[in-house]
Amino acid sequence: MQIKEKEVVKVDQTFQGKTAVVLASSQGLGKAIAAKLAAGGANVMLASRNSSKLEEVKQELERENQGRVDYTACDITNLEDIKAVVHNTVEKFGAIHILINNAGGPPAGSFEDMSDEQWQQAFELNLLSYIRSIREALPHLKKQGGKIINIASSSIKEPISGLILSNTFRTGIVGLSKTLAEEFARYGILVNTVAPGRIATDRLKYLDKINAEKQGISMEQLDEQIKKRIPLGRYGQPEEFANVVAFLASDANTYMTGSSFLVDGGMIRSI
């Protein structure tokens, strides 16, 4: 039986009076999360390196949603840029209630492919950036409590072949989140990790292209192979992933912290 791509059902979440920072939000999962929060009435600060893309997303979200949207150009591997995002958010909206940590993936490759420089860059992109943004936002989150959502990868449960850098630092995010959930509980701050599986994004296309070339098969053949491993028989949509993040960031979540959640269509077999 051929499984059709699912039409995503919109799930209402209310974020009136809330302000969210969403890193790496000019496209892909970050953009979908920002759109979901803005649709619920949140004030949203977008952040990524590409100012022109950010302006486009800002205009799009303001046309379609209730919340106010602004952006700050930011290289998340740069501490001063992260400080600017937090400063601009508080200056513009007066508070921070939700922090969504997100980052593009590091290069694909095996252990023997990677230099010290690539290891350092991946650390700064996929782990240190999260640490820095949490540190900068923490004084504001402590004022009234809030939510920190750290975006990782399904590799936190099952390492992905050819992604040694991602496998290493994404699991570090889980350790960070679990530890901070305990440390920040007294402030009313809930910290969780959300891990995407096969979600249809440009990043996924990039990785699939590399994988297909490595195997000497077409993208269509690879696509067919992978979908056979997913119980739901299809890739997820960014909006489906955003629905899960939005729930954890919403007032409906009052007692879930220190946990990791897979959004993978049942692909990962581990318990």
Which of 1-5, 62-66, 243-247: highest mean pLDDT? Answer: 243-247
Residue 1 has a pLDDT of: 43
Q: Around Cβ 93, how many Cβ atoms within 10 Å? A: 20
The Cα 51–Cα 22 span in angstroms is 15
Classify domain 19-199+238-262 by CATH architecture: 3-Layer(aba) Sandwich (3.40)
- Boundaries of every domain in the chain: 19-199+238-262, 201-235
Q: Find the mean pLDDT for residues 116-145.
A: 98
Q: Find the mean pLDDT for residues 208-222.
A: 87
Would the pTM of this model clear 0.75, i.e. be above it? Answer: yes
Tell me the pLDDT of the chain averaged across its residues: 93
The Cα 71–Cα 94 span in angstroms is 15
The Cα 106–Cα 123 span in angstroms is 9
Copy the structure tokens of residue 42.
């949140």
